A = this chain, B = another copy of it.
Amino acid sequence: MTGSMFTPQAPLGSIPGPVEPTPSALATLAPLALSDVSLTTGFLGDWQRRSAARSLPYCVGRLDGAGALTNLRRVTGEADGDFENMWFADSDIYKTLEAAAWQLGATPDNAELRTFVDTTAALLAKAQAEDGYLNSYRMLKEPDRRWEALHWSHELYCAGHLIQAAVAAARSGVGAEVVTVARRLADLVVERFSTVDAVDGHPEIETALVELYRVTGHRPYLDQAKRFVDLRGRGLLDGERFGSAYLQDHEPVRDTDSVTGHVVRQLYLLAGVVDVAVETHDETLLAAARRLWDDAFGAKTYVTGAQGSRHRDEAFGDPYELPPDRAYGETCAAIASFHWNWRMLLATGEVRYADEMERALYNVIAGSTALDGEHFFYSNTLHLRSGHDGSHEDAPSGRLPWYSCACCPPNLARLLASLSGYLLTTDHSGLQVHLYAAGDVRTTVDGHDVHVAVRTDYPWDGRVVLTVTTDAAVTLSLRVPRWATEVRLDGDVVEARDWYVQVQRDWSCGATVTLDLPMAPRIIAPHPRIDAVRGCVAVARGPLVYAVEQADLPAGVTLEDVRIDPGAPIAAGRLPDIPVTLTVAGAVETAESDELYPAAARTHTEPLELTAIPYFLWGNRTPGPMRVWIPVTTG
C-alpha cells in the first residue's frame, strides 16, 4: 500500500475488468481480473444476478422497436421514418452493449445476449461510414454538420461509449466486430482532433481513449485523451444556456479547485483526468483530481453518496448546498462517482475512495432500481414531500419504467455486469478487500496463486469470514469503513479505524480470518453548514442509510410532522422483504397555527415510535412520502 509503482500480472486467459492501468502506470494498487471474482448468494451477488436476469434484458428490449436501434437501421436503410429519441441515444446502445459484453464474459452461453451483441455489432459495422464516422443523429439529420457544435452534439461522447463497449468486448473476448468498428471511429477521432483545438461538451471520450490505449497499446489514443484533458477549460465551447462552468470549460483542470456544473460531465471528465494522469505520470493532474475530490466529498455530496444539488442544470451546487427534497442525485452521477473513486483508489491506495464507493453503491445506486429490476430513478431524492407533484419525470413520485433521456438504466446494467471487478485489488505482496461480498476469489499475487473464500451476509450482518489459501506470504488487507467505530479481528478489537487491517498468516493450508464490523444502529449528524437539514439527523446501520416512509406511519400522521429523539436507543427489527428495519422513539409535532410566518412556531407534540427502512428499498411497497433526514424532537 505504498505509493510505488507496481506491475500487475493477470493470469493468461483471464478477463480484465474495466479500468486496467498499464504496467508502467502510476498506480499503488492493481485491479483483479473480472474473472478472478465470482459472487455467490448475498447482497451484491443477488443484485448482480437480478440485473443480469431482469434489467439487462429489459434494456436490450427497450433499445428495439421504436428505440435507439431503429435509428441505426434508418442509417443502413433497413427502417423508415425520422430519427427518434434523444440525439445522443446511440450511447444507450453502446452502454447496453458494454453491459452485454461484460455479462458474456461471466456467462458466455447466454444465447440471447450473444445474439444481441452479434446483430448489433453487424448493424454498427453496416451503419458506419466508409471513413469510420458513426453517429446516427448526425448521419440522418445533419450529415453536413459532422463534429460541429461540439458543446451540444455529443458525437465524441457517443464515440466514447462505443469505445468503452469495444474495450469490454475485447477483454471479454466477445464481439470482435465491435472492436473493429470502435477502432475505426477512434482512428478517425485522432485524425480529426489531433491537430484541431476542440473538446466535446460532454466528457467521456477521454477515459474511453485511455482504456482503448490500454487494450491496444496504441499510443495516439492516449495522446489524444491527454489532448482533450489539456484543452478543456479554455473556453473552446459555446457555453450557451448554462454557461461554460456547466461544461467544465471555464478553467483548465490543473488550475481549478472546485467541482462545478453538470455533475455527470464533471465526474466523467475526472475519470479521464485520473486515467491520463496515471498513464502519463502527471502528478499535477493527479493533484488537481485530489483537490476536486476534497471539494466534492467535503461539501457537495449527499449522505447517500448522491451528487448534484440542482435540477435546473443537473449540477453541483455551492458548498454545503445540499437540499434533500430537491436533491438531483442523478443515477449516472453516482455511477460516475463510483468510477472516479475506483481510479483514485488504484492510483493512491487510500481508503477514503473505497469508503465513498461503498456509500454510493449501497445507497443511491442500490436505490435507483426497483426490486423488480425494471423500474428506475433518474434523479434520487432524499425527501419526497407530502403533497409532492410527481407528474413530471424530472422528479417522479416513484421509479419509472423508462425515461425520455434513458442514460441511467443501461449505465446501471454495465456497472452491475462488471461489479466483481471493483471489489478487491492486489499490490506486489498483498491482496486488498475494499468491498465485502460473499464470493470466491482466485487470483495471483506476485506470481503465486491465491484463493479467498468470502462468506458474509454483509451489509445485513457485520461478520465477514475469509478463508485464504496460498503458498505465498500474502498480506491480506481488510478495509475498515469510516463509520466503523469498533472492529474485531478474530474476536479481538483492532485499532484501524478508517484504514485497512493488515493480516499476515501462514496461508499454506488455508487460514480463516474473521472480521466483525459493528452493526449497531447509529445517528448521523450533518455538518452545521448544511442549512437544508439543520436540526435533523439521519439513522444508519453499517453502510446503509435509513429512511422513514409514510407507509410505516400510523394513519393520520403526516411525514412532515414526524420527529426523532436522537438520544433514544435504536432497535433492529424486520418487515416482509426488508431484512433489517430500525425502530426509535420519536414524536408527531403539529403546528398550532396555519400561519406560515408566526412570531413563534407553537406546536403540539405526541409521542410516536418511528420505523425506518434502508433508503435503497424506499418506494418498493406503496408510493408515498419518504425522508432520510428527520427533524429532532425539541424541548
Contact = CB atoms under 8 A, between A and B. Distances in A.
A476 B320 CA distance: 52
Contact of A528 (B323, B324, B591): B591
Given A523-B600, A524-B597, A392 B534 contact: no
Contact of A631 (B303, B321, B531): B531
Interface string A298-329: 11010100000011100001111101111000
A560 B319 CA distance: 11
Interface in A471-514: 485
Interface in A531-564: 531-536, 538, 560-561
Interface stretch (A283-291, A383-391, A568-576): A383-391
Contacts of A325: 318, 321, 531
B532 A532 contact: yes
A529 interface: yes
Contact of A529 (B311, B391, B591): B591
Interface in A556-613: 560-561, 589, 591, 594-601, 603
27 contacts: A245-B392, A297-B596, A298-B594, A301-B596, A303-B596, A318-B325, A319-B386, A319-B387, A321-B325, A323-B323, A323-B532, A324-B531, A523-B599, A523-B600, A525-B600, A526-B597, A526-B601, A527-B596, A528-B603, A528-B631, A529-B591, A531-B560, A531-B631, A532-B532, A534-B536, A534-B631, A535-B535
B385 A319 contact: yes
A281 interface: no
A243 interface: yes
Contact of A242 (B301, B386, B392, B530): B392
A114 interface: no
A522 interface: yes
Counting contact residues on chain A (CB < 8 A from B), the size range is: 35 or more
A424 to B, nearest CB: 26
A553 to B, nearest CB: 15
Contact of A310 (B326, B523, B596): B326
A321 B312 contact: no
A531 B299 contact: no
Contacts of A485: 599
Contacts of A591: 527-529
A260 interface: yes
A604 to B, nearest CB: 11
A524 B601 CA distance: 9
Nearest to A602: B525
A250 interface: yes
A528 B591 CA distance: 7
Given A531-B631, A535-B535, A631-B531, A599 B525 contact: yes
A461 interface: no
A256 B392 CA distance: 18
A318 B385 contact: yes
Contacts of A391: 243, 245, 250
A597 B243 contact: no
Contacts of A534: 534-536, 631
A394 interface: yes
A536 to B, nearest CB: 7
Contact of A598 (B243, B320, B525, B529): B525
A382 to B, nearest CB: 11
A594 B299 CA distance: 9
Nearest to A322: B596
Given A310-B311, A320-B560, A631-B534, A524 B599 contact: yes
Interface string A258-288: 1010000000000000000000000000000
A191 to B, nearest CB: 35
Nearest to A388: B318
Nearest to A530: B596
